[in-house]
Structure 1
C-alpha cells in the first residue's frame, strides 16, 4: 500500500474529518460548563495529540508528500503521541472524569484515532529512519510535562490526576511520572521499530 492510493487517501481524509469534528464539537458542547476554557482544553495531551493526528491525516490525504525522512518523522511523532494517548487512557484514566463525557468523542479520541494512526503507520510505511528517531519523538511529551507542571501551580489546575502533586505529593507523582515516561519511551521505540520493519518488508516485496 502507498500513500498515493485513492483508497488510502480517502480513508485518511475520513478519519481526519471525524477527528476534526470531535475536536470542534466537544468545546461547543462544553462551553457553558463551569470551569471550561480553551486554555485548559488545549492543555490536555489528548487534545494536542488529536490535533497533530488530524493535521497529519488531512495533509496526507489532500497533499500526499513524498515519503521523505522528514515527513515520515512527523507521521511517527503523531503515531507515537496517539498510541501513548490510547494506552495511558486505558491504563490510568478510564473511568476518571477528564471533562470528556461525550461517549462517541471519547472513543474517537482515545480509541479510533490511535488505532487508525497505528494501522496507517504499519500498512503505509514511510522512509526508514535513524535508530535515534524514537527518542526524538519523546521531546513532545517531555515538553508537555514541563508545561503542565509549570502552568499547574500558576492556575491551580492540572489536566490529569497522575500529574497533580496536590493529590499525592511530589514524591508519589514523580514516581508515577517516571513510570509513565518509561512506558512512553517503550511505545515510541516499538512504533519506530514496527515502522522500519514494515518499510523494509515493502521495499523487499517491490524488488
Structure 2
C-alpha cells in the first residue's frame, strides 16, 4: 500500500513541477509579448499534456481510483514527451541563442520525458494497444507540422530550425528534416506501444496468478 501512496504523490509532484516550469517560461514569454510563439512549441504542448496526465493519475491513485485518462491518450502523451526529449538531445541542445530558463529546460526536456516513459512502464495499459490506436498517436504531430508550416510565413517565425524554410536548402531542407523526425516518431510509436504491451501482459499474468496488485 505504501508503494501506491508514494507513486501517487510522486506523480502529483512531477505534474506540479512541470506546471510550475511552464508557468515560469510563460511569464518570461509574456514579458516579450511572445505568448503566441510560446504556445506554438511542441515542447510546451507535450509538457502541458504530460503535466495534466500526471496530476490526474496521481490524484486518482491517492483516492484509490483508476486514472480518468484513457490508456490510448496516455500512450500518445508518452510518445510526444519521449520524442521531445530525443529531438532536443539530437538536434537542438547545442544550438545557440535559446532563450530558456536553465532549470525549466531540464524539466521539460529531460525530467518529463523520463517521467512519462517510467509512468507508462510502471502503470502499463490495461488492454493491448493495437495498430490502429498506435497509428492514431501520429495525428497530433502531423497536425502540428501543418500548423507550424502554415503559421510560419504569417508571423515570420518558426519554432524549430527543421521546419524553417528560410534555412539553407529551403523547403527541401524542411522535407528532409521532417522525414527524419517522422521516422523517429514511427520508431517511438512502435517502441512505446510494444513496451506497454509487454509490461501489460506481465501485470495481467501476475494478477491471474493471484499476486497482490500492490506488489506489481
Q: Tell me whether the two structures share a fold, i.e. TM-score over 0.5.
A: yes
User: Which of 25, 36, 54 lines up with 1:39 in the alignment?
Assistant: 36
User: Cα RMSD over matched residues?
Assistant: 1.9
Please tell me whether the aligned partners of residues 135 and 188 of structure 1 are also in contact (alpha carbons under 8 angstroms): yes
Please tell me whether the aligned partners of residues 43 and 148 of structure 1 are also in contact (alpha carbons under 8 angstroms): yes
Please tell me whether the aligned partners of residues 167 and 173 of structure 2 are also in contact (alpha carbons under 8 angstroms): no
**How far did residue 67 of structure 1 move?**
6.4
Please tell me whether the aligned partners of residues 60 and 67 of structure 2 are also in contact (alpha carbons under 8 angstroms): no
Aligned to 1:149: 149
Please tell me whether the aligned partners of residues 98 and 159 of structure 1 are also in contact (alpha carbons under 8 angstroms): no
Counterparts of 1:45-124 in structure 2, within 5 Å, are 45-64=42-61, 66=66, 71-97=70-96, 99-124=98-123
Q: Which runs of 4+ in 1 moved over 6 A?
A: none
Aligned to 2:211: none
CA separation in 2, counterparts of 1:116 and 1:135?
23
Counterparts of 1:146-185 in structure 2, within 5 Å, are 146-168=146-168, 169-185=170-186
Aligned to 2:134: 134
Aligned to 2:207: 206
**TM-score (norm: length of structure 1):** 0.91
**How far did residue 27 of structure 1 move?**
2.0
Please tell me whether the aligned partners of residues 15 and 52 of structure 2 are also in contact (alpha carbons under 8 angstroms): yes
Deviations 1:3-24 (A, max 9, x none): x921221110000000000000
Which one has a bigger Cα radius of gyration? 2
CA separation in 1, counterparts of 2:96 and 2:89?
13
Please tell me whether the aligned partners of residues 22 and 105 of structure 1 are also in contact (alpha carbons under 8 angstroms): yes
CA separation in 2, counterparts of 1:163 and 1:93?
13
**How far did residue 97 of structure 1 move?**
4.5
CA separation in 1, counterparts of 2:50 and 2:122?
16
5+ residue gaps, structure 2: 209-216
**How far did residue 71 of structure 1 move?**
0.7
CA separation in 1, counterparts of 2:160 and 2:117?
24
Please tell me whether the aligned partners of residues 49 and 81 of structure 1 are also in contact (alpha carbons under 8 angstroms): yes
